[in-house]
């Protein structure tokens, strides 16, 4: 079977689905790998590096996609790419299926089997395929570094002949993978860190990183959803949450928001009036910008200043660190592809939790209920 690795055509995307090291792994599994010329340019991988690993370089994207049995990408297919895909082929990427509904329709019309790395279940067996976690780790790390360059203050405590500089106060909203990495990075830079999450069971993880866990007394399961993800909370909880965040955000130099609910727009945690009450020169790093933002004023892929507060809506932090982002994603997606093959043969076992969980289209049908609901809205 032929696997195709095309260039990413979305502006600002520097990652690629597979690097040369993983090409060797795919070939060892009995697959033929073809790579579009220039696919690795954004992270300094040359065509020759792919050739040396055993891949064939193809100049024309249409030729590459029309002859591929499996296409591996980082992002969803944009319109002309979807038209080039071969009928009944397999497409795998970090597809946000409830958002990119037009692309989903294209796959359905061509009877393409679609897998989203976003939908990989959080199980022990699927850990090495968990692309969402590997990319979120990078986002949390880079958000702190970038936010520190927006700030007009030091991050650590400094004692100088001219006086003592107190540490910056950082508040992290959402203690998932991105949030925990943001906490760890901010602590390494010497900041005083607090964190909030609707899931009380993450308290121990937050405190193990040296941060203070800010919590609300409520039903212990109020914010806990399937698979350990956050879910919608009760109105009473939201009221308490808003009051708590408002009191802490007013004292913070940097706020990093990471709250997401699978298949839903990001919850608004920081309304306009909270921004107005923040310290002049403080910073909001909104890692939920891609899904609408946790701050009411966030603008996707823009850095704006409102009420003397800097709001950074960068939506794709992993792409700003493409070498390691690709190294991790390539391992995730290669692990998934090799999992699909048993004894050299493609095995789409619909009873398998990983395969059925990651699949969203098959044989002209949508197999993922939240995606189906999004198309019917």
| Residue 133 a catalytic site member | yes
Q: Which of 154, 229, 237, 339 is catalytic?
A: 229
CA distance readout (Å), 317 to 17, 145, 229, 285: 16, 11, 21, 11
| Active-site entry in 83, 122, 242, 264 | 122
For CA atoms 299, 304, 309, 315, give the dihedral sign.
positive
Query: Strands 2-5 and 70-72, how do they pair?
Result: parallel
Quote the tokens at residue 105.
């329709």
Contact 180, 170 (CB under 8 A): no
d(CA 247, CA 95): 37
Would you call 50 a catalytic residue per the annotation?
no
Tokens of 376: 């019917």
Other C-beta atoms lying within 10 Å of the C-beta of residue 353: 12
C-alpha of 189 from chain center = 23
Backbone angles phi, psi at 292, to 5 degrees: 110, -25
Catalytic member of 48, 109, 127, 234: 127
Looking at residue 75, the DSSP 8-state letter turns out to be S
127 is catalytic: yes
Cα separations in angstroms, 60 against 13, 257, 349: 20, 41, 33
Angle between helices 322-340 and 131-150 (to 10 degrees): 170
User: Would you call 229 a catalytic residue per the annotation?
Assistant: yes
DSSP state, 266? Answer: P
DSSP code, position 335? H
Q: What share of the chain is helix, strand, coil (3-state, %, to 5)?
A: 40, 20, 40
Active-site choice (133, 205, 218, 327)? 133
Catalytic residue among 130, 222, 253, 286: 130
Q: Catalytic: 52?
A: no
Do residues 179 and 269 lie in contact, with contact meaning Cβ atoms separated by under 8 Å? no
Active site residues: 122, 127, 130, 133, 229
């Amino acid at each position: 079977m032929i696997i195709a690795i095309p260039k990413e055509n979305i502006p600002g995307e520097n990652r690629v689905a597979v690097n040369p090291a993983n090409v060797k792994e795919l070939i060892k599994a009995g697959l033929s790998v073809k790579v579009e010329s220039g696919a690795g340019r954004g992270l300094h991988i040359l065509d020759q590096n792919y050739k040396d690993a055993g891949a064939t370089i193809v100049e024309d994207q249409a030729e590459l996609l029309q002859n591929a049995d499996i296409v591996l990408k980082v992002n969803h297919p944009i319109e002309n790419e979807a038209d080039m895909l071969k009928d009944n082929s397999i497409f795998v990427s970090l597809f946000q299926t409830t958002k990119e509904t037009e692309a989903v329709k294209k796959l359905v019309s061509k009877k393409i089997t679609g897998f989203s790395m976003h939908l990989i279940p959080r199980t022990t067996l699927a850990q090495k395929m968990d692309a969402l976690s590997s990319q979120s780790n990078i986002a949390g790390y880079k958000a702190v570094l970038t936010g520190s360059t927006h700030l007009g203050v030091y991050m650590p405590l400094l004692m100088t002949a001219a006086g003592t500089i107190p540490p910056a106060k950082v508040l992290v909203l959402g203690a998932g993978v991105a949030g925990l990495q943001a906490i760890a990075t901010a602590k390494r830079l010497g900041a005083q860190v607090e964190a909030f999450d609707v899931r009380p069971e993450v308290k121990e993880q937050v405190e193990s990183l040296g941060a203070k866990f800010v919590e609300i007394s409520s039903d212990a399961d109020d914010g806990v959803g399937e698979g350990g993800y956050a879910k919608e909370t009760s109105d009473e909880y939201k009221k308490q949450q808003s009051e708590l965040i408002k009191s802490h955000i007013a004292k913070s130099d940097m706020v990093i928001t990471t709250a997401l609910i699978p298949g839903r727009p990001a919850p608004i945690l920081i309304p306009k009036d909270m921004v107005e009450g923040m310290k002049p020169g403080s910073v909001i790093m909104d890692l939920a910008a891609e899904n609408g933002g946790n701050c009411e004023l966030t603008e996707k892929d823009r850095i704006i200043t409102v009420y003397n507060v800097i709001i950074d809506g960068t939506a794709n932090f992993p792409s700003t660190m493409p070498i390691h982002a690709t190294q991790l994603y390539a391992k995730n997606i290669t692990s998934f592809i090799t999992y699909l093959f048993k004894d050299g043969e493609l095995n789409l076992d619909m009873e398998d939790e990983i395969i059925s969980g990651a699949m969203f289209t098959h044989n002209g049908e949508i197999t993922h209920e939240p995606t189906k609901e999004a198309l019917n809205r």
